[in-house]
Structure formats: structure tokens, C-alpha cells
Amino acid sequence: MSHTAEHFAYHHGEPVWRTEQPAAHRAPPTGIRRCRTAVVGAGLTGLSVALRLVERDPGHDVVVLEADRVGGGASTRGTGLVGPRIGPPLPLARKRFGDDTARALYLWSERAVDHVLEVCARHRIDCGLTRGGQLMVARDRRSMTMIERELAAAAALGVNIAAVPAHALPHRPGRYLGGMRYGPAATLDPAALTRQLAAAAERLGVTIHENSAVRRIHRGSDTWLSTDGGEIVADRVVLAVNGTSGGAAFGTGVIGLRVQAAATAPLTGDILADLARLAHEPLVEMGTVAPYYRLTPDNRLIVGGGRIRRGADGHVPLDTGYLRTAVDLLHPGLRDIPLTHAWSGPIGLTLDSLPVIGVRHDGALIAAGWRGHGIAASTYGGTLLADHLHENTSRPGDHVFPIARGRARSLPLVAPLAQAVDAYLALLGRAESRMLADRPADELPETTAAVVTAMTTGDETP
């Protein structure tokens, strides 16, 4: 079999997960409807808020408004990695925030993983959940130095990140110089998780309206949310818009980016045996857009990485050639295994790499900007926001997130700054392609957020 003589249908722009179509009972609202809490966004964050509210307060009247369909944004278009880490790398987090806050951020991210596992067990969510760890590996001296710094910072903070010597790493023998293991971690089907969270919330009385974009929010004694067909009048509002274009419209300070992934046909035989470890221990190469790999329960290899594009809209892959090359380099036997799916999806990023979790100037709560770690962080963050609402405390504090805030610092992404960001993202993708082909790449900053910050403030890139 060759790449061109495929016996599997190729799905361009479609994730390997089964995504949900709009449901008849989730029709847009008409007229005026009052509720106690309105949630904007039916992804993992918004659904977690809604579900937790009705779990803690049966009969709590919650309405969820979704511009597309359930999971129509980032939640169903990722690669299903569930792992710790949030915010900047630990050495930079220590420098910016101090050891106590850096430690709190990392421990929060570990609890987020545990929370996803607990939610899946409690609601009997069938999403192909596989528990394990995550391996981050160094493919060159520069990335090995970054791993060594991360391990040193982890030891100083007393958090659980383990060094892995080169001889204990899987795949591409001699390619990796060393690595580190994160845990707890897991892999799952993000579309199935999102779909079943919505069903669980509806069973407990939550109302979900699809194709119901919020056009205007007006706050008086109550908050009015206007859609094309009707209005929701709510006592309280939660904005859960993350990486979609709605994030910019609601003034979150979150920048929407598109990232890409692909999946192969199911693996068999010796290739599957050689790569079996990826089922419970995904492999992530150190680098902003470097490739990462996991196996699904039906033995498909999923690969992500490569080109990034500003703007959250769109579904087609950005550079299928890169994804094909990344697959081929992992194992020689993969060269004859076709890609069956290739797609892109949105993520939400802030300039300082921290999410936005808190209360806005108008009193609405906000949770967004998960930077590609959204399965664990968004599910847990949404749950903690719901706990905050249930307990009727005045403002979210560190019981919700170690650095609570209602918006992130933003940039006016208009020319020439937008052109500079676009040029940088293109350069980053080209440099990664050269690295993948074992040709030298220019020294580049490690995160898009870091380079934009450096461009606008003169801060030194870590």
C-alpha cells in the first residue's frame, strides 16, 4: 500500500472523532425567557459550569446559548490529550509570579486532570479514556537544556515531574537526548466527552440552545442576552467562549489561533507492537509547534503540530505535508499507512500564557484561554466557577484559580502588528519543517505569546 493507493476514505477537514449535529430539541430561543444563570458557550467549559450548578442545586434554572452546536468550537477538534501544565514553563513562572504561585499553578493543573477522571467515572462517560502519563522529549541540545531547566524548577518547587534518560525513551532510537514524564495524564475522545457532558446536564434540567449566537449583552437590574430569535434574561452570566471568534467579541483578551492534526488508518502487527506505548503515554517533542503523537483505542496514530494560523475559524488542515512527514519519521513502517483524517481547530491563547478565569467589569464571569490544555483545565475551571456561583461569594479568588482575573492584556491586532504576528507564525512553521527534515532552524522564541510580548514591551524572551 502507498500513500496514494489508499483503501480508506480520506476525510479532509474532519476530525477522527464523531462530532454531534444540531439536535431538534436544542432549537434557538424565541421571545423572552428568564433564568437564574445563563452560560454562553456549549463547549467543555460552559457545559461543566451548567452541569455542576444543577448537581449542587437541583432545580437551578440554567440556560446555555451556543452559537454553533454543542462542541462546535475547540472542545471537539483537539487530539484528546489530558495532562498537567498550565501557564508558562516553570522557570518563567517562578520568575514572574514567585515560587508559591508557580507551585499553585502546577498543582491546580494536576487536580484538573484528576477532576476529568472523576467526572468520567461519576457520569459513566464512554469516551475511550486511557489513563497513563505524558512524555516530553528533547530532539536537540537546545530542547534538552529547556527540559533540564524545567526539571530543576520542578525539583525546587517540589512538584512531580520525573526525568527520563534517553535509553528509556520509545521510538526513533538515538533521536531523542532525554525527556521528562508528567502525570497524572490520560487520553480520550474529546467529542464523546463533550457530547455526554451535554446529555448529563440536560438530564438534570439544563436547557441548551444551539445556533444561538449572542449578539448583545445589556446589564441592568438583570442581564439581557439578545440572540437573533429571542432574549434570555438572567440573574447571572458566565462567558465560556475560549478560542472561537466570540472570545474577541466579548473582550476577553484571548487570541484565537488554529492548530492542526491528523489520524492514520488503524495500525496492526509489528508497527502497532512497536508503538503500543503511545496508547497510555503520548509522546510530545519539546518545541512550540513540534510534533506530538498518541494512539487511539482503535489503534490509529494521531499526530499534531506544525503550522499555526491566527484566527479561530476554519476546519481544513494547514499543512498536511508536515503531518505526513511527522508520521513517517516516527517509525519506518508508517510510510505505507495512509492518513484518513486531517483537520484544524481553534485554541485560545493569552499574551502571558495564563487563562482568564474571573469576573468582568460588568459582573459576568469568564473562563477562557486554555492554550491547548483545555480538556483538563476547562472542565475543572468551569466546575470551580460553578462552585463559586453556588456559594455566592463576591469575586473569584485563588480557590477558583491561583491568578483570577476578568480579562487578559490584549493587543490591537491590526496592521502592521497583525502582519508581524502572521509573519512570525509563518516563520515558526517553516523553521519547524526544517527541523523535522534535520536541517538547522533559526533560534526562535518558545511561544507565540512570548514573541508578541517581546515585540510590544521589550521583555526578554525566555
303-322 per-position pLDDT tens digit: 999 888 877 777 787 789 99
Residue 411 has a pLDDT of 64
Query: Could you give the residue range(s) of every CATH 3.30.70 domain in the chain?
Result: 256-267+289-345+411-437
**By C-alpha distance, which of 242, 194, 261, 187 is closest to 13?**
261
Q: Is the pLDDT of residue 258 over 60?
A: yes
Rounded Cα gap, residues 312 and 80, in angstroms: 19
Work out the pLDDT band at 399, boundaries 50, 70, 90.
confident
Q: Is the pLDDT of residue 208 over 80?
A: yes
pLDDT in tens, 314-350: 778 778 999 999 999 899 899 999 999 999 988 888 8
Residue 7 has a pLDDT of 55
Residue 304 has a pLDDT of 95
**By C-alpha distance, which of 261, 126, 120, 106 is closest to 184?**
106
Rounded Cα gap, residues 167 and 149, in angstroms: 20
Work out the pLDDT band at 172, boundaries 50, 70, 90.
low
Residue 462 has a pLDDT of 30
Rounded Cα gap, residues 343 and 92, in angstroms: 32
Of the chain, the percentage scoring pLDDT greater than 90 comes to 61
CATH class of domain segment(s) 25-80+189-254+350-406: alpha beta
Q: Is the pLDDT of residue 174 over 70?
A: no
Query: Could you give the residue range(s) of every CATH 3.50.50.60 domain in the chain?
Result: 25-80+189-254+350-406
Give the Cα-Cα-Cα angle 147, 149, 153 (nearest 5 degrees).
Answer: 115
Question: 110-119, 171-180, 198-207, 354-363: lowest mean pLDDT where?
Answer: 171-180
pLDDT in tens, 357-396: 998 888 889 999 888 888 999 999 999 999 999 987 666 7
Work out the pLDDT band at 459, boundaries 50, 70, 90.
very low
Rounded Cα gap, residues 278 and 283, in angstroms: 7
Rounded Cα gap, residues 356 and 373, in angstroms: 13
Read off the pTM: 0.89
Domain at 256-267+289-345+411-437: CATH code: 3.30.70
Q: Is the pLDDT of residue 126 over 90?
A: yes
Alpha helices, DSSP H only, in 141-189? 141-157
Average pLDDT, the chain: 86
Q: Is the pLDDT of residue 444 over 50?
A: no
Whole-Å CA distances, 184 to 83, 111, 263, 354? 7, 9, 24, 21
Higher pLDDT: 431 or 254? It is 254
Residue 327 has a pLDDT of 94
Residue 429 has a pLDDT of 64
Burial of 124 (0-12, 13-18, 19+ CB in 10 A): exposed
Whole-Å CA distances, 277 to 175, 183, 272, 280? 17, 15, 9, 6
Residue 29 has a pLDDT of 96
> What average pLDDT does range 284-305 have in this prediction?
93
Cβ partners under 8 Å of residue 50, min gap 6: 37, 39, 62, 64, 201, 206, 208, 386
Rounded Cα gap, residues 356 and 459, in angstroms: 21
Residue 144 has a pLDDT of 95
Q: Is the pLDDT of residue 242 over 60?
A: yes
DSSP string of 214-260, one letter each residue: --EEEESSSEEEE-SSEEEEEEEEEE--TTSTHHHHTT--PEEEEEE
Q: Is the pLDDT of residue 454 over 50?
A: no
Q: Is the pLDDT of residue 156 over 60?
A: yes
Of the chain, the percentage scoring pLDDT greater than 70 comes to 82
